[in-house]
Structure 1
């Protein structure tokens, strides 16, 4: 019987320069999508998938991220006094049990592979998940939960994948498909940002992974790749060559790239319209904005 995936790594050491000046004083992961920070969406998704141990790979200037998951006794007491039970319950979802979160420092920005490798001592001989908070996924069944259920059948390594237009393949890591089984595909190769017209498929890797302990061994052995960084895709590519145990998973849901301003705005609109308490007023506002713009043209 395969062990459940119970540990997840959250690489959150990036400087968030695309969101300056906001990220001068706050970590990008604390920026709010409607009324929850990006990191809360990632944590909620991980919890739904059965994750119990949360490993954050951070850097200098991320103390606000650590504080966010701590208890806030004064605020909780104030809400309790005022009888604001709904807000109190909402606040509880941001608290983490003592020992549930571990924080590891990545002292130099040496890539995603290096960030994952930094957490190696906190993992035993078991599969683990990696979640990139920049990729926010709206789905009826959370993306990582879908993957954990599929991984229970396949074992090995699994990457989340989505179809992208041929014109966009050069912006992603693209899977070379060995066998297409529907939701799950067996991977025979990965090409990082292929030149236009050379992509082996239009199935792109996005920021959810379930990885075997061998990935850490590969990361310890491989040399720095593009830009002097240690690439996670290189370590996964070694597993394709050595063990042929890498799978892509076509998740059900919509992914938003909240690492870009346009993606963040798109996610804000989508998540705002999905909220019953905001939908009508927000939709009316958007409709008026579009009408006014059309009239002005």
Structure 2
């Protein structure tokens, strides 16, 4: 009998150096996409998938992240007195129940796999999700919810996957495909950031995972991989080598790499255009800017 996925790990220990100087004092995960921080999009997606326990792997300087999910009684009281009920409800939706969130420190930046392994004692013998907040996915049905529904049919481990241009595969973990059945792909292996021209496919791993307890155990036996770091893809590949099922899932939706400035800006425009109260003004500005740019050329 497959156990439900109710725990999720959020690796948020990175320094966010690509967004300096902003991240000198503000954790990258608190940077706002329109009017919500990146981490809120990840939390909302996890909740929609049935996640009940939220495990944050953090580092020094992340106290603003912890404070974000705490109660703000003075602010709530002021909004209530002012009759700003809509804002009050938006604020309360960011609160997390006592005990729902756990924070674990990753003392050294030793890679994504190491960050995930830091949560070993809180996972125990249960399946768990991993969500990378940098990957924001716009979808009618949240990506992790799609995966959980597929996992209920397949079991095993599962990674979110999307097709990328062949010349971009060296920036991703890439799947070695065994068999494809619509959105679900069974795989022979995974390669982390393969050199140009050597990728086994153009199906790349994106920052959503449903993993088994065995994968936690694999971290104790794998060597450091690409970049001299402990790679999550290597621990998953070990699962395949041990004869256990691992699947790729071609999710429906649009993924934005908010770990890069260009991706963050693209996501901001896309999410803003999806908002009724922002669409008209922003569209007018973008069209005027495009017309002016054409005229200048």
Question: TM-score per shorter chain, which class?
Answer: over 0.9
TM-score (ref. length: structure 1): 0.99
Distance 2:289 2:179 in 1: 47
Distance 1:224 1:104 in 2: 22
Aligned to 1:79: 79
Aligned to 2:36: 36
Aligned to 1:143: 143
Distance 1:2 1:248 in 2: 18
Q: Deviations over 1:158-193 (max 9, x none)?
A: 000001111211211110100101100001011112
2:295 is the counterpart of 1:295: yes
Distance 2:23 2:265 in 1: 16
Unaligned runs of 5+ in 1: none
Match of 1:243, SS?
coil
Distance 1:273 1:53 in 2: 32
Unaligned runs of 5+ in 2: none
2:118 is the counterpart of 1:118: yes
Q: Deviations over 1:30-72 (max 9, x none)?
A: 0000000000000000000000000000000000000000000
Distance 1:243 1:128 in 2: 20
Q: Alpha-carbon deviation of 1:256?
A: 0.1
Aligned to 1:25: 25
Aligned to 1:208: 208
2:170 is the counterpart of 1:170: yes
Greater Cα shift, 224-233 or 250-259: 224-233
Distance 2:67 2:244 in 1: 42
Aligned to 2:181: 181
Q: Alpha-carbon deviation of 1:221?
A: 1.8
Distance 1:32 1:162 in 2: 25
Match of 1:278, SS?
helix
Aligned to 1:219: 219
Tell me if structure 1 keeps the 8 A contact 2:192–2:226: no
TM-score (ref. length: structure 2): 0.99
Q: State how 1:247-286 maps to structure 2 within 5 Å.
A: 247-286=247-286
Aligned to 1:233: 233
Q: Alpha-carbon deviation of 1:4?
A: 1.1
Q: Alpha-carbon deviation of 1:82?
A: 0.2
